[in-house]
Amino acid sequence: MSAINLVTGDPLIKTINLTKVNDAGESTFNIPVSTATVTVAVVSNDHARRLTSQIAVSSAETGSDWSTSTIVTNISKAETEAISEFGLALLEIQVTDTDEITWFHPVNIINGLIA
């Protein structure tokens, strides 16, 4: 899986298709809109620090389809502007319903703020 480029000072709007692994292999799944919450945050590559706050993902975001586990992140310009570490990091994605399931997607943080 290739890293998502995150340019500081720009919003990060990205469509991501989550999958679960089972005996049949990888498959999509239904995220129940009425009961589940989905959050994202950028965290350091060693999982030691959050680089953004935890942000709620909306099922109403254009391009999202929670019935097929497709989410759209929308991390604001203000959130990415506050990031002061650059290079490889992770996008932490949490789906909470009856269980909490977490995925990590690589992110390449690029300094987009010209001094």
The model's pLDDT over 31-90, given as tens digits with 9 standing for 90+, comes to: 999 999 999 999 999 999 999 999 999 999 999 999 999 999 999 999 999 999 999 999
Give the span between the Cα atoms of 115 and 111, in whole angstroms. 10
The β-bridge partners of 90 are 43, 106
Residue ranges of domains in the chain, CATH in brackets:
4-110 (2.60.40)
Could you tell me the CA-to-CA distances from 64 to 14, 35, 58, 81 in Å, in that order?
10, 16, 8, 25
